[in-house]
Structure 1
Amino acid sequence: MGPVTAVGEPPLLDCEDSAWFRDQPEAARGAAAALGRRIGLGEHRTAQLVLAVAELATNVTKHAVDGSMLLRVLRNRNVAGVEVLVVDGGPGMADVPAALRDGVSSTGTLGIGLGALRRLADRFDVHSVPGIGTVQLARFWPHPLDPSLTREAVVGGITRPIGGEDVCGDAWAARIDTVEQVTPAQGEAAGRADSTLTAPDWSTLTGARTPFGRPDRTSASSERSPRPGLKSRSALLRGATAGPGQGVLVMSCDGLGHGPMAAIASQAAVQAFRSGSARTPEQAMEEVHRALRGTRGAAVAIARLEPDGRLLFCGIGNISACVLTTGSRANLLSHPGIVGHQMRQLRTYEHRLPPHGTLVMHSDGLSERWATSDLATLLHHPPAVIAAGLLRHAGTRRDDASVVAVKGAW
């Protein structure tokens, strides 16, 4: 195992082995038991996990509209656990605190109730809006609980494959920059974009077709101005450098197309991002670009959040990114290209993350036609719940989809 998370370091959790279930209570219970045994959750804790999954899955089947359950393994540097996310399209709960009170089920479920689920789980969270739907999150860790898990992870994301596929071509990742600060001159030299281009510029024509015979989703339309009413206050930086202290680097990646080949590209991007030594988004984008040569390529966005509230952002292709508060939305600019094939000179933009702001990045498997008000009540919840709620609200099943949210890093 790695070292214990340093004091003051923003806590992160990596995700793996994600599996979605719809109207499959038995399959969900079996998968939960297998995950608990595989990661060493312990016999008693695994039994509690299976009990919770059974209750949640049965409730979704009996009561929810378009309900789905996601099971996945979570890890930090010390320990692994299992997370359960349940997302549905209604009818929603009019009174969540009342639903959390202990009571007896009258509909044939196990009868342990949401209050008992909250006690079983090490982390339990519910967001529900009548007529819209509900997001429920439950995490199960080995006991006794590791001290590194006392704080909520500052980054949370979710991916969902296109209908009919088992693998997702979208991915996200996050890491802490623990490298000592470089001098401004060193940072400027390291942050310059690599101008070597290795493939024809498929992104120069709107609606151009990629080498893979489908419309290019990273066309010049991604440089469009924000829609009326959306604020954009980004400042272009030349030779961006990392600030003092430990920054949080976050990546969102959409492998071109969908299915196994898109998944190969996105996983190559994740591996390069996690193992890289880059400190700035531009440097990290160059590392990912080199790793994606020979793959389909991808749309990629990378952000760095600083302890002083600075946000550095570099995006290539059709990844949507914005900074949200309960009353505002500021879009971040990306530029045309295909990471791994064709990138123009990279550009980094600086933004200020408000004290209670949230960074959200999502692939084009979600519509951009959502408003700040759609997420206003979600922003008080953990990042994983925010991501799941936005996926429920704006996701389509015609493409792979992913959302990653960052909040409360310091």
Structure 2
Amino acid sequence: MTRTAIGPTAFVRIDHHSAVQLAADVARSCAEQCRLPGAMPDQAAVIASELASNLAKHAKDGALYVQPFRLGAGLEILTADRGPGMSELQRCLTDGYTTTGTLGAGLGAVSRIATDLIIRTEAGVGTLVSARLALPGQPYPGQDVGFLCLAAEGEQECGDTGAIVENDRIRTAIVVDGLGLGHGPQAAEVAQIALRAFHSAADQPLPQLMAVLHRALRHSRGAAVGILRLSTDQAQYCGIGNVRALAFSPRGVGHRLTGQPGIVGWKMPTPQTHSIPLTPHTAAVLHSDGINAIWAHSPSPSMLRLPPPLLTVALAHGHRSGRDDATVLAVRAHQESR
């Protein structure tokens, strides 16, 4: 079983070239906190610097996100923008290619350093990037797991959290929205209590797992909780409160589920489990109410084709309410690790 606690994702707004150094510093610091060895912290800084520099030069409304892996050991750096897109992506990935008269290291350097690089670009819409650094010889989640957890504007701590555990090819994912006096430390404390309880009982049937969380939170202000369990051909969802679950494929959004009314830890109804059929092209999404649910009403065909890491950053960048904590998790059923 692989267990990873989820803390807030580091966020850097790239609205000026001065933000490039900040992005590099944040990535290096995160890599050091993850205890990545040798040159890996410097490699993380190079990736963040090159991606942020591209945003500063070519894009608008750019942002960079840095976080540890959710499964496995390593670091993920993501970017999103509303720029012009890349008309010649393959040329951009070649060392020495430039459109601005600079040395042209850019995406070529990122491609060489990163363990895994995913890019989707659309003319007039923008570009999404996920660059990962994995420990050599260690498994990592590839393109079938994505996650972002962002604190409300002005807050250092996040009342949302989430995690993914894997046991015998079955993945169980949780998103928690801790209730407190607004945002910040109290809500974050509630969310972490829930996360510890989840890890202690993650292999139990979902209603029993929800009961474990309810007992753990009984002396707190409680939380909204959504849990997904994915096997090869189906997902099970159990939710209390305003955490949404969806299943989608390139054909569209097939299922939309919201948790039962109630609060885990305070007034919780008897938990109910819903089954969602899965095909090889179906992904499941959990998100807190910090992501505007309107995104699922008429998503673009290009969004429906995004792999989970890029879907999460697209939702966080385009549909997040800055006044609230926001967590979004996208996952497919287990695939063979690399």
TM-score in terms of structure 1 length: 0.73
| Residue identity in the other structure for 1:387 | T
The one-character-per-residue Cα deviations of 1:58-92 (angstroms, maximum 9, x if unpaired) are 22223322211112222656xx3221111223233
| 1:264 has 2:257 as partner | no
Distance (whole Å) between structure 2 residues aligned to residue 102 and residue 170 of structure 1: 40
| Residue identity in the other structure for 1:22 | R
Which protein has the bigger strand share? 2
| Offset, 1:37 | 3.6
Moved more, 59-68 or 333-342: 59-68
Report the counterpart of residue 248 of structure 2 in structure 1.
324
> Is the contact between residue 12 and residue 154 of structure 1 (CA under 8 Å) also seen in structure 2?
no
Distance (whole Å) between structure 2 residues aligned to residue 19 and residue 108 of structure 1: 31
| Offset, 1:141 | 2.7
| 1:250 has 2:182 as partner | no
Distance (whole Å) between structure 1 residues aligned to residue 262 and residue 41 of structure 2: 46
- How has the CA–CA distance of structure 1 residues 288 and 95 changed in structure 2, closer, same or farther, with 3 Å as cutoff? farther
The one-character-per-residue Cα deviations of 1:246-279 (angstroms, maximum 9, x if unpaired) are 4211111112242221111111111111122542
| Offset, 1:393 | 2.5
| Offset, 1:380 | 4.4
Report the counterpart of residue 394 of structure 1 in structure 2.
319
Distance (whole Å) between structure 2 residues aligned to residue 37 and residue 377 of structure 1: 35
Equivalent residue in structure 2 for 1:176, among 163, 166, 179:
166
| 1:127 has 2:120 as partner | yes
| Offset, 1:123 | 0.9
> Is the contact between residue 327 and residue 373 of structure 1 (CA under 8 Å) also seen in structure 2?
no
Distance (whole Å) between structure 2 residues aligned to residue 92 and residue 154 of structure 1: 24
> Is the contact between residue 324 and residue 372 of structure 1 (CA under 8 Å) also seen in structure 2?
no
- How has the CA–CA distance of structure 1 residues 372 and 278 changed in structure 2, closer, same or farther, with 3 Å as cutoff? same
| Residue identity in the other structure for 1:45 | M
| Residue identity in the other structure for 2:223 | A
> Is the contact between residue 301 and residue 316 of structure 1 (CA under 8 Å) also seen in structure 2?
yes
> Is the contact between residue 249 and residue 282 of structure 2 (CA under 8 Å) also seen in structure 1?
yes
Report the counterpart of residue 59 of structure 1 in structure 2.
54
| Offset, 1:26 | 2.2
| SS of equivalent to 2:172 | strand
| SS of equivalent to 2:163 | strand
The one-character-per-residue Cα deviations of 1:205-243 (angstroms, maximum 9, x if unpaired) are xxxxxxxxxxxxxxxxxxxxxxxxxxxxxxxxxxxxxxx
Distance (whole Å) between structure 1 residues aligned to residue 303 and residue 224 of structure 2: 27
Correspondences of 1:247-326 after superposition (within 5 Å): 247-256=170-179, 257-307=182-232, 309-326=233-250
Correspondences of 1:360-399 after superposition (within 5 Å): 360-371=285-296, 374=299, 376-399=301-324
Correspondences of 1:123-272 after superposition (within 5 Å): 123-142=116-135, 145-149=136-140, 152=142, 154-177=144-167, 246-256=169-179, 257-272=182-197
Q: Which has the larger radius of gyration?
A: 1
Moved more, 366-375 or 123-132: 366-375
- How has the CA–CA distance of structure 1 residues 92 and 408 changed in structure 2, closer, same or farther, with 3 Å as cutoff? farther
| SS of equivalent to 2:328 | strand
> Is the contact between residue 36 and residue 82 of structure 1 (CA under 8 Å) also seen in structure 2?
yes
Identity rate of aligned residues, in percent?
Answer: 36
Distance (whole Å) between structure 2 residues aligned to residue 312 and residue 75 of structure 1: 20
> Is the contact between residue 356 and residue 408 of structure 1 (CA under 8 Å) also seen in structure 2?
no
Distance (whole Å) between structure 2 residues aligned to residue 140 and residue 285 of structure 1: 34
Distance (whole Å) between structure 1 residues aligned to residue 202 and residue 147 of structure 2: 22
| Offset, 1:147 | 4.3
Equivalent residue in structure 2 for 1:34, among 17, 29, 36:
29
The one-character-per-residue Cα deviations of 1:134-179 (angstroms, maximum 9, x if unpaired) are 221111134xx21423x5264321111111112221111111245x
| Offset, 1:381 | 4.3
Instruction: Work out the number of aligned pairs and report it.
Output: 328
| Residue identity in the other structure for 1:310 | Q
| SS of equivalent to 1:156 | strand
Distance (whole Å) between structure 2 residues aligned to residue 373 and residue 102 of structure 1: 38
| SS of equivalent to 2:119 | strand
- How has the CA–CA distance of structure 1 residues 14 and 120 changed in structure 2, closer, same or farther, with 3 Å as cutoff? farther
The one-character-per-residue Cα deviations of 1:190-212 (angstroms, maximum 9, x if unpaired) are xxxxxxxxxxxxxxxxxxxxxxx
Q: Which runs of 5+ in 1 are unaligned?
A: 6-10, 179-245
| SS of equivalent to 2:299 | helix
Report the counterpart of residue 206 of structure 1 in structure 2.
none
Equivalent residue in structure 2 for 1:349, among 257, 263, 274:
274
> Is the contact between residue 97 and residue 105 of structure 2 (CA under 8 Å) also seen in structure 1?
yes
Distance (whole Å) between structure 2 residues aligned to residue 43 and residue 277 of structure 1: 34
Moved more, 58-67 or 100-109: 100-109
- How has the CA–CA distance of structure 1 residues 14 and 345 changed in structure 2, closer, same or farther, with 3 Å as cutoff? closer
Report the counterpart of residue 201 of structure 1 in structure 2.
none
| Residue identity in the other structure for 1:313 | Y
Distance (whole Å) between structure 2 residues aligned to residue 165 and residue 109 of structure 1: 37
